Amino acid sequence: MTLTLALVQILNGLQFGLILFLIAAGLTLVFGVMDFINLAHGVQYMVGAYFVAAFTAMTGSFLYGLALALPAALAFGLLLEVLIFRHLYDRSHLDQVLATFGVIIFLNQAVKFVWGAAPLNVPIPDALSGTIEIADGMLYPVYRLVIIAVGLGVGLALYLVVNKTKLGMLVRAGASNAAMVSALGVNIRLLFTIVFGVGAMLAGFAGAMVAPILSVEPGMGDNVLILAFVVIVIGGIGSIRGAFIAALLIGLVDTLGRFFAPTLLKLLLDPSTASQTGRAIAPMLIYILMAAVLFFRPSGLFPSKQ
Amino acid sequence: MSTAPLQLQNLRKSYGALVVTDDVSLDIHAGELHAIIGPNGAGKTTLIHQISGLAKSDSGRIVFDGQDVTRLTMSERAKLGLVRSFQITSILPRFSALENVALAVQARSGSSFKFLGNAAAERELNDVAMALLARFGLAARASVPAGQMSHGEKRQLEIAIALAAKPKLLLLDEPLAGTSHDESQRLINTLQELRRELPIVLIEHDMDAVFALADRVSVLVYGRIIASGTPQSIRDNADVRAAYLGEEAL
Amino acid sequence: MNDLIDLDAAPALAAPVQARRVVILPLLLFAIFALVPLAGLWGSQGFVLSIVTRIMVLALAAMSLDLLIGYGAMISFGHAAFVGLGAYSVAILSSHGITDGFVQLGVALAVSFVFALVTGAISLRTKGVYFIMITLAFGQMLYFLGTSLAAYGGDDGLTLASRSTLFGSKILKNDIVLYYVVFGILLGAYLLLRGIVASRFGRVLRGIRENPVRMEAIGFAPYRYQLTAYVIAGMIAAVAGCLLANQTEFVSPAYASWQRSGDLIFAIVLGGLGSLHGAIIGAAVFSLLADILSHYTEHWAMLFGPILILVVLFARGGIGGLLGAKS
């Protein structure tokens, strides 16, 4: 019985981790290639969710909603890049942090202004709304399996592009030494824009995918952003592989931790203290994990710059 | 058992597949000024980084004053008297010239975990710092923000700061880089005085300076010392001439 | 280049002109603060008192962060966590009947000391963006801890039964008394920080900000100085937290959130980085701006955000810079 329960939690952890990966991938590339701290990456995720909510309501179909939300999220990201971000590439990290913080403040309020503060509802498309029996008696939502599959697919595609194509090679080179790449005659501006756009779209895509199963509300990107930061700090800035491994690690540790911490603690403490402490410690687990990793490897597990 | 103040033993360093320091062994004798020359990219600055502690050696030993310092950090080595200057001017631009030097004096004058009192007004620190500035002809520029000084003045300041840190051995990385003829002449004169006071390892491209100052010269090519000896013997060495062909006239 | 604060935004302290400004401006500020309660003579005292007390508390937290960011180039994005620690020290002790202000303060200082030492020791092993993010994450960790403390209100926060007592007396119940206590602490902290910045320790810290490699080369190990500064700043912010809990008579995990940390950074930059009194000016402008804008529309954040962006893009050096405090 507990094994099937554990299996469900593992799948949940995987799904969570893969969503984190989609968000972190863009973030780590933008950091790695452009040395640009983008706190506003979280609102990109939020905006993707809001777009899919709006377009689904408009067209009556989640698939159409998703198809429209993606280019919209890309356009939105590029708009931010042109208006604000590209003026920050040469600035100090402090300036970047503050300016993108300003973007968050603005956009969290803007979506409230446009759509109101109440969470929006995005229905799971009928074809994907059922459950599947994954082990005796345990039913798991099809949609979450779809997210896992899509997440793995995108991860594979990213891996192939970054490691097997010329563009990917430029991106990796840029993450290692952008000045050098530029000196070699590569149009670094174009590279920046592509990296940024892809990152924004991935985050928007992640937001759109989770819209049916999470609350689409103002500020939904904030907590996810912090987690994405933890992912890339652990994984190493500029590394897709690092982001993938760290994201899965965090997804699993967080989900399983929350679930099992009280249970494990019951072996040591009395039930009520165990459940209290468990619930207090669980959200802190990933930060303890991060602290541990950074203690031994201050630049993360797979830093692209030594 | 060598009692040389600085002994480098089989130092190695690679960046990935690129070997930058290739089994360098060298003894710096007491009272000598030892110049290290070599074509660009030979690994001279990396060697100084390794000796001073800014870069970690992959293998080998560095013995300073009889003590193995290979595992020590740069600040720990500086506290022992192994002090360096930088090839690319590395001063505190918004501090005055005086404060730049005074800070180095402060580093060697007791604890800096003092939270009260005005450090900038400490007489003892400032007196020593002023004396050093005067020695380098910078006394009149004491209150100028270091970043606003001329290039030559900054190079002087670099060495003044290094001296303020009570060195037992100086590592000077191209102190004459980018200086005008007059400025470099003045620096050479200063170094002539200094070489009588403490051992100096000098990296330089300026051959006039090298031959005017050095007691011994070592030639570094692709991370290896290909020749080491008196300036005259180096000048006559065929391998050295070959290495320098097309670079500089010896 | 990106690893250092943009140096143009933080003025040096050497020139004589600087010295005058360093005296006049803060003198003016504290004089204004000292006289504000007299506004009561013109009515609406309670309202003004409350706002300015808040400003002074924010200024205290911001000043402590200025030591880190302005003087130490350590961009901590989790500083609000210390404010939360201070606030919750007061609230938790109070909920158990321990209302003595000195005991609460002592606990706040002890707890923040430990938290700063541990998180600082780990965070300072990293540099640049890693440091920013790890401090952000540690701050959030504390925030989540706060939300999970069901016994102390969790997400909803906790209302204090009463303000802290001093020597057994409920003297702080009087808003004017609280005001001057906060004023006194702010003044004291300002003088303390001024002294620290000018001291041997402060000079080393500023040197590390300017050129850490150079400092190492003359024999200073940056880590221990930075960690010390981190702990000092954290403890001062915890004091601000204690005062905040007293002023609002309410605590919430949100006090420790990264958004509040961001507010603190904004306040310092707005007022002028690396000047201490700039933090006070920035805190005042920040609070007043937020207050004024929120009277116009509930969507005031939509104005606040762009203002922040514009300040960053165009007003280098903040208001302090505009007042000529830049060198």
pLDDT single digits (tens) A130-178: 888 877 778 888 899 999 999 999 989 988 888 888 888 888 787 777 7
Q: What is the mean pLDDT of chain C?
A: 87
- Are B161 and C218 inside 8 Å of each other by CB? yes
C161 part of contact set with chain A, CB < 8 Å: no
Instruction: Name the domain count of chain B.
Output: 1
Range A73-82 burial, b when 16+ CB lie within 10 A, else e: bbebbbebbe
Assigned token pair, B129 = 């710092």
Query: What is the structure's pLDDT at C20?
Result: 63
CATH assignment of the domain containing B225: 3.40.50.300
Does domain A2-119+137-296 fall into CATH 1.10.150?
no
CATH assignment of the domain containing C40: 1.10.3470
Say how far apart CA A172 and CA A157 lie, in whole Å.
15
pLDDT of B250 > 70? The answer is no
Centre a 10 Å sphere on the Cβ of residue C292 and count the other Cβ atoms it contains: 11
Query: What is the structure's pLDDT at C15?
Result: 44
pLDDT of A80 > 60? The answer is yes
Which of C195, C218, C228 is nearest residue B78 as measured by Cβ atoms? C218
pLDDT of B51 > 50? The answer is yes
Task: List B33's β-bridge partners, or say none.
Answer: B200
Instruction: Name the domain count of chain C.
Output: 1
Would you place residue A211 in the very low, low, confident or very high pLDDT band (cuts 50, 70, 90)?
very high
Query: What is the structure's pLDDT at C322?
Result: 60
Neighbours of chain C (3+ CB pairs under 8 A): A, B
pLDDT of C184 > 50? The answer is yes
Query: What is the structure's pLDDT at C130?
Result: 85
> Hey, which residues 215-274 in chain C have their CB within 8 Å of chain A?
258-259, 262, 265-266, 269
Is C327 inside any structural domain? no
pLDDT of C181 > 90? The answer is yes
CB pairs under 8 A between B and C: 116
Among all residues of chain C, which has the CA nearest to that of B165?
A: C218
CB pairs under 8 A between A and C: 144
Over residues B243-249, mean pLDDT: 58
Beta-strand relationship, B169-173 and B82-84 = parallel
Over residues C249-258, mean pLDDT: 94
- Are C312 and A95 inside 8 Å of each other by CB? yes
Sign of the Cα torsion C270, C17, B149, B105 reads negative
Assigned token pair, C323 = 């007042």
Report which residue type is found at A263: T
Over residues B41-53, mean pLDDT: 90
Task: List B202's β-bridge partners, or say none.
Answer: B35, B172
Is B86 inside any structural domain? yes
Say how far apart CA A63 and CA A201 lie, in whole Å.
16
Over residues A106-122, mean pLDDT: 92
**Could you report the per-residue pLDDT of A262-297, keeping only the tens digit for each?**
777 777 777 777 777 777 777 788 888 888 888 888
Assigned token pair, A47 = 């905006």
Domain, as residue range, for C292: 7-322
What contacts 24+ positions apart, CB below 8 Å, involve C1-5?
A: C1/A92, C2/A35, C2/A91, C2/A92, C2/A93, C2/C128, C3/A93, C3/C127, C3/C128, C4/A92, C4/C73, C4/C209, C5/A92, C5/A94, C5/C69, C5/C70, C5/C73, C5/C75, C5/C209, C5/C273
Assigned token pair, A123 = 């229905």
Say how far apart CA C96 and CA C93 lie, in whole Å.
5
C14 part of contact set with chain B, CB < 8 Å: yes
**Could you report the per-residue pLDDT of A39-56, keeping only the tens digit for each?**
999 999 999 999 999 999
What contacts 24+ positions apart, CB below 8 Å, involve A137-145?
A: A137/A4, A138/A4, A138/A5, A138/A7, A138/A8, A140/A8, A140/A11, A141/A213, A143/A212, A143/A213, A144/A11, A144/A12, A144/A15, A144/A213, A145/A11
End-to-end CA distance of chain C: 20
- Gyration radius (Cα) of chain B, Å: 18
Say how far apart CA C56 and CA C36 lie, in whole Å.
12
Assigned token pair, B207 = 């051959």
Query: What is the structure's pLDDT at B199?
Result: 94
Over residues A12-29, mean pLDDT: 93
Would you place residue C44 in the very low, low, confident or very high pLDDT band (cuts 50, 70, 90)?
low
Would you place residue C8 in the very low, low, confident or very high pLDDT band (cuts 50, 70, 90)?
very low
Centre a 10 Å sphere on the Cβ of residue A169 and count the other Cβ atoms it contains: 14
- More confident: B182 or B51: B51
Over residues B135-146, mean pLDDT: 92
Say how far apart CA C247 and CA A220 lie, in whole Å.
30
Is C302 inside any structural domain? yes
Residue B182, classified by CB atoms within 10 Å of its CB into exposed (0-12), middle (13-18) or buried (19+), is exposed
Percent pLDDT > 90 in chain A is 41
Reported as type and span, the H/E element at residue B62 is strand B59-64
**Could you report the per-residue pLDDT of C25-36, keeping only the tens digit for each?**
888 889 989 888
Query: What is the structure's pLDDT at B119?
Result: 92
Query: What is the structure's pLDDT at C5?
Result: 46
CB A252 within 8 A of CB A235: no
Name the H helices within chain C. Answer: 16-35, 45-69, 80-95, 101-123, 128-148, 175-198, 200-210, 212-217, 222-248, 258-271, 277-296, 301-314, 318-322
C254: nearest Cα among C80, C94, C118: C80
**Could you report the per-residue pLDDT of C45-66, keeping only the tens digit for each?**
677 888 899 999 999 999 999 9
Say how far apart CA B69 and CA B54 lie, in whole Å.
12
Q: Could you identify the residue written with the tokens 């911490």?
A: A261
Among all residues of chain C, which has the CA nearest to that of B78?
A: C219
Written as one string, the DSSP assignment of A9-22 is HHHHHHHHHHHHHH
Percent pLDDT > 90 in chain B is 64
Distances (CA, A) of C119 to C112, C134, C234, C240, C260: 10, 9, 11, 19, 18
> Hey, which residues 58-77 in chain C have their CB within 8 Å of chain A?
69, 75, 77
A86 part of contact set with chain C, CB < 8 Å: no
- More confident: C225 or C162: C225
pLDDT of C6 > 50? The answer is no
B116 SS3 class = coil
Is B145 inside any structural domain? no
pLDDT of C144 > 80? The answer is yes
CB C94 within 8 A of CB C108: no
Say how far apart CA C325 and CA C17 lie, in whole Å.
9
Residues of A in contact with C128 (CB under 8 A): 93
Query: What is the structure's pLDDT at C60?
Result: 97
Over residues B86-112, mean pLDDT: 93
pLDDT of C259 > 50? The answer is yes
Query: What is the structure's pLDDT at C3?
Result: 42
pLDDT of B191 > 70? The answer is yes
Query: What is the structure's pLDDT at C323?
Result: 58
Say how far apart CA A221 and CA A202 lie, in whole Å.
14
pLDDT of A306 > 60? The answer is no
Say how far apart CA A256 and CA A258 lie, in whole Å.
6
Is B126 inside any structural domain? no
Contacts of C102 (CB under 8 A, 6+ apart): C166
Left (φ > 0), alpha (ψ -120 to 50) or beta: where does C166 sit? beta
pLDDT of A71 > 90? The answer is yes
In this prediction the pTM is 0.89
Say how far apart CA A32 and CA C128 lie, in whole Å.
12
Beta-strand relationship, C158-159 and B224-229 = unpaired
- More confident: C10 or C54: C54
Query: What is the structure's pLDDT at C40?
Result: 65
pLDDT of C319 > 90? The answer is no
Distances (CA, A) of B249 to A275, B206, B212, C275: 80, 11, 16, 54
Contacts of B149 (CB under 8 A, 6+ apart): B97, B141, B157
Is B129 inside any structural domain? no
Beta-strand relationship, B6-15 and B59-64 = antiparallel
Query: What is the structure's pLDDT at C320?
Result: 61
C323 part of contact set with chain A, CB < 8 Å: no
Q: Which of B52, B77, B103, B122 to probe by mutation at the C interface, max C CB count within 10 Å?
A: B103
Would you place residue B56 in the very low, low, confident or very high pLDDT band (cuts 50, 70, 90)?
very high
Say how far apart CA B116 and CA C192 lie, in whole Å.
8
Number of H helices, E strands in chain A: 12, 2
Percent pLDDT > 70 in chain B is 96
- More confident: C225 or B246: C225
Query: What is the structure's pLDDT at B1?
Result: 47
Is C1 inside any structural domain? no
Residues of B in contact with C14 (CB under 8 A): 94-96, 99, 120, 143, 145
Domain, as residue range, for B225: 6-90+165-244
Query: What is the structure's pLDDT at B246?
Result: 46
Query: What is the structure's pLDDT at C21?
Result: 62
Say how far apart CA C221 and CA B73 lie, in whole Å.
9
Residue A118, classified by CB atoms within 10 Å of its CB into exposed (0-12), middle (13-18) or buried (19+), is exposed
Q: What is the mean pLDDT of chain B?
A: 90
Assigned token pair, A149 = 């599959």
